[in-house]
Homo-oligomer: A and B are copies of this chain.
């Protein structure tokens, strides 16, 4: 690590990256390689002698990039987006440069304090209740992913409940989710030792864009109470993965409150939209939440990973997740006092990167007004795509569009037996195999559905139009094969 060598190589990498972005539309969005392709072209052991940067760049161009699926391509419409941006990229660079391991305050006070400040900023942008601010009993923390956010919330809830009922009661704890809740919750339950038969999966309402109904939750809950079980956790979603459904927060919050349960809100994707006043109403009811999560790394120009979690009472997190070995105690007056936050006790790992830098830079270099415009632009493009779909009777919009996701499919001719599954699979396969766009699918009420999620930073109207043209052309072909 020589400063001048770093400078020279760093400049070369910046040019490489800028050139990559300049030519990003030339690559197939979805990588078209076959399994095992890389093993064929790389040696089977590490080199003994150093290689040159030139040769490394050659390998990146010729061997790595063909195996990359280009999430930053303007023609990427799969899953939900994963935004990069100049500000986010600069933040990652600076974080890699300091390369601190910020488990406690003293390991870099700026890392902890900037995180506290920026999460408070963000809470205010979202108009979260003041209890979620660091100045009250709550506070925000950056997790790696929404999976980790829901896991630490579940652990805090589990331990809060077991403290009351005794730890032998683990087998009685019941979690309430819908069949649209992200699989991260199921995984969190597996990890936390919640019995699989105690994960109550309530079927969401297909007449209400697959939001859960409070009645269905109440009903399941009554049965469990009668059986002597202990309901302790409800997870609601604002913007489900399949169809961007919004669960009824106020009602679910009331149920949680009246049974002394933990109420978690997963707004991983749609939380970003709620910085716009016209979408904020989707968070009404967050007042009742114990924890709230959104991913700045999805649709908020902040490079992956950066998942924001707020809790109303931080003491429950800390009780579940703290350890305090001598070798990590900071014998410095400042952190000996209880005046500082040690984020190691708010998360699964011990070590943590300086992730608040990139979020701070995104907010500073773009500003709230531009960030709102950014969200609105994508929602507008999704509306545009929806109109295009409506104009072609061969297609149908399957669920109402709420944010920037459009769920649609080719309407199966009556001659088709499998409810259009093969037809739509073939359409998806055709467009993805073309390398021109990438979209993903889901299944709702037995229907195989295509998902068109607008949210890549470079996507413009012309990309949406081209995607539509491609879908129309391929539709003609697959319908011709029926």
Contacts and interface: CB of A to CB of B under 8 A. Distances in A.
A337 B35 contact: yes
Please give the count of copies of this chain that the complex contains.
2
A47 B339 contact: no
A242 interface: yes
Contact of A69 (B6, B90, B106, B148): B106
Contacts of A90: 9-10, 13
Interface centre among A16, A106, A242, A428 (most CB of B within 10 A): A106
Interface in A256-310: 297, 301, 303-305
A340 to B, nearest CB: 5
A186 B98 CA distance: 29
A216 interface: no
A471 to B, nearest CB: 16
A145 B1 contact: no
Contacts of A89: 6, 10, 93, 96-97
A339 B64 contact: no
Interface string A96-140: 111111000111111101101110111011000000000000000
Nearest to A33: B109
A125 B44 CA distance: 11
Contacts of A337: 35
A202 interface: no
A47 B363 contact: yes
Interface of A is mostly: helix
A327 B125 contact: no
B64 A353 contact: no
A315 interface: no
Interface residues of A, number: 157
Interface string A61-105: 001111111111000000100111110111011101111110001
Interface in A1-48: 1-7, 9-11, 13-22, 30-31, 33-39, 42, 44-48
A327 B440 contact: yes
Nearest to A144: B349
A306 to B, nearest CB: 11
A425 B10 contact: no
A367 B84 contact: no
Interface centre among A17, A83, A85, A335 (most CB of B within 10 A): A17
B64 A110 contact: yes
B86 A6 contact: yes
A72 B94 CA distance: 13
Nearest to A11: B14
Contact of A187 (B20, B88, B323, B368): B323
A466 interface: no
Given A7-B15, A68-B110, A327-B441, A35 B339 contact: yes
A441 B336 CA distance: 14
Contacts of A86: 1-2, 5-6, 9-10
A251 interface: no
A254 B284 CA distance: 58
A94 B13 contact: yes
Interface stretch (A164-172, A206-214, A226-234, A376-384): A164-172
A221 B131 CA distance: 47
A278 to B, nearest CB: 17
A245 interface: no
A155 interface: yes
Contacts of A178: none
Contacts of A144: 144, 349, 351
A110 B60 CA distance: 10
A117 B348 contact: no
Interface string A314-337: 000000110111111001101101
Interface centre among A16, A111, A187 (most CB of B within 10 A): A187
Interface stretch (A189-197, A391-399, A409-417): A189-197
Interface in A235-259: 241-242
Interface centre among A4, A190, A324 (most CB of B within 10 A): A190
A241 B326 CA distance: 10
A282 B146 CA distance: 39
Given A72-B1, A148-B349, A367 B98 contact: no
24 contacts: A4-B18, A6-B86, A11-B14, A31-B106, A31-B108, A35-B109, A38-B109, A38-B110, A42-B114, A67-B110, A68-B110, A69-B106, A79-B327, A89-B97, A99-B304, A144-B351, A155-B190, A183-B324, A186-B323, A192-B192, A242-B326, A304-B351, A327-B451, A332-B429
